[in-house]
Amino acid sequence: MAHKISDECVACGSCQPSCPVDAISEGTPFEIDAEKCTDCGACVSTCPVNAISPE
């Protein structure tokens, strides 16, 4: 199961470097590629607005 970034994302980019498989791409909101995401959850704790959750 991949994680998803909600519309509450403020596009700060703090989640992107935490992803070990480079599944997060820039945008407003940022996006997580479900095909690449390994559901490790590393990005969840880096989001200052809690916009990342399991899909």
CATH of 1-55, one of 3.40.109.10, 3.30.70.20, 3.40.50.880, 3.90.1310.10: 3.30.70.20
* pLDDT for the residue numbered 55: 80
* pLDDT for the residue numbered 1: 78
Domain boundaries, the chain: 1-55
* pLDDT for the residue numbered 40: 96
Using CA atoms, how far apart are residues 33 and 23, in angstroms rounded to an integer? 5
Global confidence as pTM: 0.89
Each residue's pLDDT, cut to its tens digit, for the chain (55 residues) gives 799 999 999 999 999 999 999 999 999 899 999 999 999 999 999 999 999 999 8
Query: What is the DSSP secondary structure assignment for residue 29, as one 8-state letter?
Result: S
With beta carbons less than 8 A apart as the criterion, state whether 51 and 14 touch: no
